[in-house]
């Protein structure tokens, strides 16, 4: 027999064997799904945690390298998340979403909201042992204000018209009242005056101090013994950078990592329940199908409302997120409990008949074709778009999904507004509700949805300049309601932040902003 023929037949047989073999093996493979009834197969018990628990250290897996170690230069949310443990401002956020004193021990605001007086906390030390004095504070503030270092300048601080010091007190005068001023001050991290090695060896005042960094590999922090507050419990924290998602899952399974956040339910379902537990927080993002109100057919409020009725948020969350996620009805998430209006969530119940009626009224009795542009690297958004496409089909809307890479998304959708609709999550990184609402002002530079409503603009202007907290809160709630009533966008959900934590590690605390506080973690 011909050799090649023999080889070909052999290859065919092998392929078939593979097919058959897999056919049998597949159903038998243990699939650890936490909420299913069957007990997941317990594989080799990994005693690794006892080793790290004994030496009181943890290893956290993160998906991206840090963009800068200089606290005034870092912009990536992933960097803020890590360095939150190293740096502090005069004030800092707490887990309840309040702004509390940090390097300052007390903050006083004058009646007219124009003068802020900070009293410097006694006994605050930098990681190099030096005490923090007024010069350091003024230096840090000036570095973010004057623009001598362009990357460090924060324009939100332009409202400061005068900086005065008086013994241990810092007095800031504003040119106009600003309800969110303290929130912006959180990111004015206090650093030693004229310290030049921030990029390579940053020094702050936080509960953990910087030890070393290997670019694109790891970052090591150590407990700061002289911290003014309660301080951390774990002695050493290593951040291991693994830029692909599979790597993070494998790292957990192999015992190399103790904690990874921002995981998908698909990833956490691969972890063995005997080694890990999954804690659910919130991403603090408003995920929505953002509609470009500047172009037809979404310039018609009835079409936008029809889309809202046609969408079944809970079904989408069940399908694309295994049920993890909190449905939203407006541009605000529950962490901002003060501003969040839960009654808006079900303003548009899933109702195909109503959606069809509205479409007919708007002149689209047979639906229309639309496109959803999605950043292809964010699979949760792509999955969401896929489910929405299927749901909108029911009312006759044919959806074309256009996956684009992240940079094209930023330029085409966010900057140039060349899109029909997009699925994305919008955040508020500085604990102010304002950031979630002021982007819908008709003149806002980041109003990429082209939403335009004079009434909205007017109330927003009133809310921003208001110094009365109750009045501001009421105005913000009014804005939320307008966004819902005019169906500015199809609001979907506050995405769940799933954190895989090795059993035995406790104390994980969720913040309403994108940070991971390691000082509360402990073994036991």
Partner 1 sequence: MKKKNWNGFLIAGCVLTGVLVALMLLGKFWTPWSPTAMDAKAMYQPPSLTHLFGTDKFGRDIFSRVMQGGGTTLTIALATIAIGAALGTLVGAVTGYFGGIVDDALMRLNDALTAFPSILLALLIISLVGPGKYNVVLALGIVFIPSFARVMRTQFASLRDVNYIISARLMGAGQLRIMTVHMLPNTMRTLLPALTIGFNNAVLAEASMSYLGIGVTPPDASLGNMLRDAQSALGRAPWYAILTGVMIALLVFGVGLIGEGLQKRDQEVD
* CB-nearer residue toward partner 1: 146 or 405: 405
Least distance in angstroms from the C-beta of 135 to partner 1: 51
Q: Which long-range contacts (CB under 8 A, 24 or more apart) does 72-76 make?
A: 72/140, 72/143, 72/144, 72/149, 72/151, 72/152, 72/189, 72/191, 73/151, 73/152, 73/199
Cα separation, 47 vs 252, in Å, equals: 13
Token pair, residue 356, equals: 């069809």
Least distance in angstroms from the C-beta of 436 to partner 1: 29
Residues 423-452 that bind partner 1 (CB under 8 A): none
Q: Residue 189 region, left (φ>0) first, then alpha (ψ -120 to 50), else beta?
A: beta
* CB-nearer residue toward partner 1: 390 or 455: 390
Q: Which of 13, 17, 22, 296 binds partner 1 (CB under 8 A)?
A: 22
Cα separation, 72 vs 397, in Å, equals: 47
Residues 112-171 that bind partner 1 (CB under 8 A): none
Least distance in angstroms from the C-beta of 51 to partner 1: 25
* CB-nearer residue toward partner 1: 32 or 202: 32
Token pair, residue 510, equals: 């969720």
Token pair, residue 287, equals: 């995920």
Binding footprint of partner 1, residue count (CB under 8 A): 51
Least distance in angstroms from the C-beta of 383 to partner 1: 7
**Of 97-105, 360-368, 396-404, 509-517, which segment contacts partner 1 by CB under 8 A?**
396-404
Q: Which of 67, 266, 457, 474 binds partner 1 (CB under 8 A)?
A: 266
* CB-nearer residue toward partner 1: 264 or 484: 264
* Cα R_g (the chain), whole angstroms: 26
Residues 241-260 that bind partner 1 (CB under 8 A): 245-246, 249
Residues 366-395 that bind partner 1 (CB under 8 A): 376-377, 379, 382-383, 385-387, 389-390, 393
Which residues, at least 6 apart from 521, have a Cβ–Cβ distance to it below 8 Å?
58, 232, 233, 234, 259, 505, 506, 507, 508
Least distance in angstroms from the C-beta of 295 to partner 1: 18
Distances (CA, A) of 293 to 298, 363, 440: 5, 17, 11
Q: Which residues of 157-178 are buried (b: 16+ CB within 10 A; e: fewer)?
A: bebbeeeeeeeeebebebeebb
Least distance in angstroms from the C-beta of 150 to partner 1: 31
Least distance in angstroms from the C-beta of 515 to partner 1: 27
Cα separation, 273 vs 256, in Å, equals: 17
Cα separation, 479 vs 434, in Å, equals: 10
The answer to whether 490 and 288 are in contact (CB under 8 A) is: yes
* CB-nearer residue toward partner 1: 142 or 379: 379
Least distance in angstroms from the C-beta of 201 to partner 1: 38
Binding-residue pattern over the window 401 to 420 for partner 1, x denoting contact by CB under 8 A: xxxxx--x------------
According to the binding rule CB under 8 A, does residue 361 interact with partner 1? no
Of 174, 160, 182, which Cα lies nearest the Cα of 112? Answer: 174
Which residues, at least 6 apart from 14, have a Cβ–Cβ distance to it below 8 Å?
none
* CB-nearer residue toward partner 1: 243 or 400: 400
**Of 15-23, 159-167, 415-423, 450-458, which segment contacts partner 1 by CB under 8 A?**
15-23
Cα separation, 366 vs 403, in Å, equals: 26
According to the binding rule CB under 8 A, does residue 400 interact with partner 1? yes
Alpha helices in 55-90 (DSSP H): 77-83
Token pair, residue 139, equals: 């230096």
Binding-residue pattern over the window 28 to 67 for partner 1, x denoting contact by CB under 8 A: -x-xxx----------------------------------
Least distance in angstroms from the C-beta of 396 to partner 1: 15
Distances (CA, A) of 465 to 445, 457, 458, 472: 19, 13, 11, 8
Least distance in angstroms from the C-beta of 416 to partner 1: 15
Q: Which of 315, 342, 365, 418 binds partner 1 (CB under 8 A)?
A: 315
Q: Which of 94, 154, 165, 270 binds partner 1 (CB under 8 A)?
A: 270
* CB-nearer residue toward partner 1: 352 or 382: 382
Least distance in angstroms from the C-beta of 290 to partner 1: 19
* CB-nearer residue toward partner 1: 28 or 148: 28
Counting every residue written for the chain, the total comes to: 524
Residues in contact with partner 1 by CB under 8 A are: 2, 4-5, 8-9, 11-12, 15, 18-19, 22-23, 25-27, 29, 31-33, 245-246, 249, 264, 266-267, 269-270, 315, 318-320, 322, 376-377, 379, 382-383, 385-387, 389-390, 393, 399-405, 408
């Amino acid at each position: 027999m011909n050799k090649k023929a023999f080889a070909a037949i052999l290859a065919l047989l092998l392929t078939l064997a593979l097919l058959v073999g897999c056919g049998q093996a597949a159903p038998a493979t243990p699939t650890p799904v936490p909420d299913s009834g069957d007990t997941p197969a317990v594989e080799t018990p990994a005693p690794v945690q006892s080793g790290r628990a004994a030496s009181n250290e943890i290893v956290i897996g993160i998906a991206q390298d840090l963009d800068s170690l200089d606290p005034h230069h870092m912009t990536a949310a992933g960097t803020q998340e890590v360095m939150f443990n190293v740096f502090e401002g005069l004030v800092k956020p707490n887990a309840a979403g309040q702004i509390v004193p940090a390097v300052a021990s007390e903050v006083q605001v004058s009646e007219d909201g124009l003068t802020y007086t900070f009293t410097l906390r006694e006994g605050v030390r930098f990681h190099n042992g030096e005490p923090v004095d007024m010069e350091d504070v003024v230096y840090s503030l000036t570095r973010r204000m004057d623009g001598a270092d362009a990357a460090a300048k924060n324009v939100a601080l332009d409202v400061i018209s005068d900086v005065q010091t008086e013994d241990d007190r810092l007095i800031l005068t504003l040119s106009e009242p600003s309800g969110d001023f303290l929130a912006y001050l959180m990111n004015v991290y206090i650093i030693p005056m004229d310290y030049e090695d921030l990029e390579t060896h940053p020094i702050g005042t936080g509960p953990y101090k910087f030890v070393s960094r290997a670019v694109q590999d790891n970052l090591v922090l150590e407990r700061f013994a002289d911290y003014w507050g309660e301080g951390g419990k774990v002695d050493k924290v290593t951040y291991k950078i693994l830029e692909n998602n599979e790597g993070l899952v494998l790292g957990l399974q192999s015992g190399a990592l103790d904690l990874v956040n921002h995981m998908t339910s698909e990833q956490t379902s691969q972890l063995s329940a005997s080694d890990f537990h999954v804690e659910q927080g919130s991403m603090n993002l408003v995920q929505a199908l953002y509609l470009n109100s500047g172009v037809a057919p979404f310039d018609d409020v009835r079409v936008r409302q029809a889309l809202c009725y046609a969408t079944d948020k809970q079904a989408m969350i069940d399908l694309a997120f295994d049920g993890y996620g909190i449905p939203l009805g407006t541009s605000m998430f529950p962490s901002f409990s003060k501003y969040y209006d839960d009654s808006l969530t079900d303003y548009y119940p899933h109702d195909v008949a109503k959606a069809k009626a509205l479409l007919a009224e708007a002149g689209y009795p047979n639906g229309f074709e639309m496109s959803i542009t999605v950043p292809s690297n964010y699979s949760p958004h792509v999955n969401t778009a896929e489910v929405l496409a299927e749901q909108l089909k029911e009312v006759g809307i044919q959806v074309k999904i256009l996956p684009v890479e992240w940079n094209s998304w930023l330029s085409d959708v966010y900057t140039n507004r060349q899109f029909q609709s997009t699925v994305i999550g919008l955040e508020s990184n500085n604990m102010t509700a304002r950031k979630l609402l002021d982007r819908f002002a008709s003149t806002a530079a980041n109003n990429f949805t082209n939403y335009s409503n004079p009434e909205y603009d007017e109330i927003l202007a009133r809310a921003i300049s208001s110094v009365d907290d109750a009045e501001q809160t009421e105005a913000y709630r009014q804005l939320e309601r307008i966004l819902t009533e005019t169906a500015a966008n199809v609001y979907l959900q506050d995405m769940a932040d799933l954190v895989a934590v090795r059993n035995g590690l406790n104390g994980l605390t969720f913040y309403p902003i994108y940070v991971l506080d390691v000082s509360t973690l402990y073994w036991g």
